[in-house]
């Protein structure tokens, strides 16, 4: 389960960074924050 959460977090953070480069600042920030919340190193939403 931790591996799945880690992969989801990586995808969210990478998508957030890509959104920042496309000038979609609010959307990118939300994706990065959600990625950090979902990740196993952060405050997981599923535990």
* Of the candidates 21, 33, 7, the residue with the CA atom closest to the CA atom of residue 43: 33
The predicted model scores a pTM of 0.79
For position 14, what pLDDT does the model report? 94
Average pLDDT, the chain: 84
Q: Tokens 């998508």 correspond to what residue?
A: 15
For position 42, what pLDDT does the model report? 62
For position 3, what pLDDT does the model report? 80
Give the burial string for 31-40 (b: 16+ CB within 10 Å, else e).
bbebbeebbe
* pLDDT tens, position by position, 9-47: 899 999 999 999 999 999 999 999 988 888 766 665 555
Confidence of residue 6 (pLDDT cuts 50, 70, 90): confident
């Amino acid at each position: 389960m931790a591996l799945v959460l880690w992969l989801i977090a990586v995808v969210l953070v990478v998508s957030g960074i890509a959104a920042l480069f496309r000038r979609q600042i609010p959307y990118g920030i939300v994706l990065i924050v959600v990625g950090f919340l979902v990740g196993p190193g952060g405050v997981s939403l599923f535990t």
